[in-house]
């Protein structure tokens, strides 16, 4: 594997080509150190962590315990509160069903920001349709920052659970959880923080341990897909759900060990990595602004994830740009679940972005293996693709 190996893709059906990978919000390549641990666990530590009558099970159980410690260290929480899931979507569903509780005399009052991930919005809306939750929306401004009055109004009208993501997966805006978590608790509500994009990229000191339900996912931090975690003291305190079940599912030990290693690397290298990535992101932004007339940079430029660059090429269909880049640079028209569907993004709508800017919205996500030359080449390719689409539109030969 060469040093840039992870930014490249090979498509055997179309011949070999190189594509620069700049879609790290959708998923990240697995770090080879993580992959090695996953492989080792699969072949040598195959015991069932719930079957601890012998050394095989004991070894597997100790690997799970170790991974819990690494996840907890990354988000400043207690290892006993870490529960592994198949990813963030499952962790969100588990958290919300736990907050609703097994007996729902009155519906759970949930307040959520309009820019939460679709996985959370869908879960809350399903609960509302079932009559076991009622939703209050918390508004954001044009940079996707929380509108404080809207949060206060939700809290004052009576809320049981507040959902505020740590950072947005489209425009990268980071939320001030150091202030929000104690505020929510002062109103006797619980807080769910979806840290899927932020874990390892922002510090959790000072509030991580106080979050009632914290969500993270392995594949966003250079770990394997199919593993995530719900970190929750509340869940730990009343864990036996489902008719008093006493059986825990057999843990996915290789995935869990991989997620633990991904968290360890993020904790030990995240700060330095973030500085390197932010410098490249800023350079890419500068290049694109210089090369593309009328380019707009979206989100909160003072307070966004280091690897996020969200831009709009006004009145220029983003799907045409992305399709011209297909074999050269992997970027996205928005959240992964929206891509391909070509529906507009609920995040950009919540920000009040005008239609022309929504139409030309592009999400770029840098990562651990992005190189300076990737940035240079990506800037040139993106600018060329935009020129191409604009020329085609001027000649009216596009659909
Ligand atoms: N929450 C956020 C903020 C995300 O970005 C994603 C994935 O894009 C999810 C939740 C869902 O994560 P998973 O793929 O682990 O289910």
CA of 325 to the centre of ligand 1 (A): 24
Report the candidate in 216, 218, 104 with the shortest Cα–Cα distance to residue 161.
104
pLDDT confidence bin for 248, thresholds 50/70/90:
confident
Pair of tokens at residue 50: 């719930």
CA 316 – ligand 1 centroid, Å: 28
pLDDT at 15 over 50: no
The model's confidence at residue 244, banded by pLDDT at 50, 70 and 90, is: very low
Least confident segment among 212-226, 263-277, 338-352, 377-391: 338-352
In three-state secondary structure terms, 174 is strand
Q: What does the pLDDT read at residue 2?
A: 37
Q: Determine whether the shortest distance from the Cβ of 332 to ligand 1 is under 6 A.
A: no
Q: Is the CB of 85 under 6 A from ligand 1?
A: no
Query: Which is more confident, 110 or 104?
Result: 110
> What pLDDT, on a 0 to 100 scale, did the predictor assign at position 395?
83
CA pseudo-torsion sign 229, 9, 365, 346:
negative
Q: What is the pLDDT of residue 305?
A: 98
The one catalytic residue in 337, 357, 380, 392 is 337
Ligand 1 pocket check for 162: Cβ under 6 Å: no
Residue given tokens 């870490």 in the structure block: 82
pLDDT in tens, 52-70: 899 999 999 999 999 999 9
C-alpha pair distances (Å), 7 with each of 27, 208, 216: 12, 32, 23
88 in ligand 1 pocket by Cβ < 6 Å? yes
pLDDT given for residue 16 in this prediction: 43
**Residue 150: predicted pLDDT:** 98
Work out which ligand 1 atom sits closest to the CA atom of 87.
Answer: 15
Position with higher pLDDT, 124 vs 238: 124
Using the atom order of ligand 1, give the atom closest to the CA of residue 218: 15
CB atoms within 10 A of CB 184: 26
pTM score of the predicted model: 0.93
Residue 113 Cβ < 6 Å to ligand 1: no
Give me the pLDDT at residue 249, please.
Answer: 84
Residues 74 and 204: their CA atoms lie apart, in Å, by 8
CA of 216 to the centre of ligand 1 (A): 8
Ligand 1 atom 9: the closest Cα is on which residue? 88
Range 194-208 average pLDDT = 94
Which segment of 105-109, 209-213, 233-237, 265-269 scores lowest on mean pLDDT?
A: 233-237
Domain boundaries, the chain: 3-30+270-393, 32-266
Per DSSP, the three-state class of 251 is: coil
pLDDT in tens, 304-327: 999 999 999 999 999 999 999 999
Q: How far is CA 248 from CA 49, 84, 214, 242, 399, in A?
A: 10, 11, 20, 11, 54
Residue 117 CB–ligand 1 contact under 6 Å: yes
pLDDT at 271 exceeding the cut of 90: yes
Ligand 1 in contact with 308 (CB < 6 A)? Answer: no
Report which protein residue has its CA nearest ligand 1's atom 5: 169
**Shortest-distance atom of ligand 1 to CA 90:** 16
337 is catalytic: yes
- What confidence score (pLDDT) does residue 1 get? 37
Average pLDDT, integer, range 331-344: 63
What is the predicted pLDDT for the residue at 103?
66
Cα 92 to middle of ligand 1, angstroms = 9
Average pLDDT, the chain: 91
Is 3-30+270-393 assigned to CATH 3.30.1950.10? no
The matching CATH number, chosen from 3.40.50.720, 3.40.640.10, 1.20.1250.20, 3.40.50.150, for 32-266 is 3.40.640.10
């Amino acid at each position: 594997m060469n040093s840039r190996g992870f930014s490249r893709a090979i498509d055997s059906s179309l011949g070999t080509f190189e594509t620069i990978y700049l879609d790290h919000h959708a998923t990240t390549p697995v770090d080879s150190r993580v992959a090695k641990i996953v492989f080792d666990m699969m072949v040598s530590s195959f015991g069932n962590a719930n079957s601890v009558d012998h050394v095989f099970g004991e070894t597997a159980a100790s690997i799970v315990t170790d991974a819990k410690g690494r996840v907890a260290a990354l988000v400043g929480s207690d290892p006993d509160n870490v529960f592994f899931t198949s990813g963030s979507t499952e962790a969100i569903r588990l958290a919300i069903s736990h907050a609703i509780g097994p007996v729902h005399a009155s519906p759970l009052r949930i307040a959520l920001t309009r820019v939460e991930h679709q996985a959370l919005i869908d879960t809350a809306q399903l609960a509302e349709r079932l009559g076991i939750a009622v939703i209050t929306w918390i508004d954001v401004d044009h940079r996707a920052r929380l509108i404080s009055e809207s949060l206060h109004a939700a809290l004052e009208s009576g809320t049981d659970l507040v959902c505020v993501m740590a950072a947005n997966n489209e425009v990268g805006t980071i939320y001030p959880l150091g202030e929000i978590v104690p505020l929510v608790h002062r109103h006797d509500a619980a807080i769910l923080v979806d840290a899927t994009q932020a874990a390892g990229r922002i510090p959790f000191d000072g509030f991580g341990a106080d979050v009632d339900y914290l969500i993270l996912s392995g594949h966003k931090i250079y770990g394997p897909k199919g593993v995530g975690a719900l970190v929750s003291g509340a869940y730990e305190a009343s864990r036996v759900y489902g008719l008093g079940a006493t059986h825990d599912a057999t843990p996915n030990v290789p995935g869990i060990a991989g997620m633990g290693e991904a968290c360890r690397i993020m904790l030990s290298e995240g700060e330095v990595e973030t500085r390197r990535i932010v410098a490249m992101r800023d350079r890419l932004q500068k290049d694109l602004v210089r090369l593309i007339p009328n380019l707009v940079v979206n989100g909160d430029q003072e307070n966004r994830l280091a690897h996020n660059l969200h831009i709009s090429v006004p009145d220029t269909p983003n799907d045409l740009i992305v399709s011209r880049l297909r074999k050269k640079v992997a970027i996205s028209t928005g959240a992964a679940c929206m891509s391909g569907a070509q529906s507009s993004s609920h995040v950009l709508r919540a920000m009040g972005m005008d239609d022309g800017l929504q139409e030309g919205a592009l999400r770029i996500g840098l990562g651990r293996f992005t190189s300076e030359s990737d940035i240079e080449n990506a800037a040139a390719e993106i600018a060329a693709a935009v020129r191409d689409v604009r020329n085609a539109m001027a000649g009216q030969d596009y659909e």
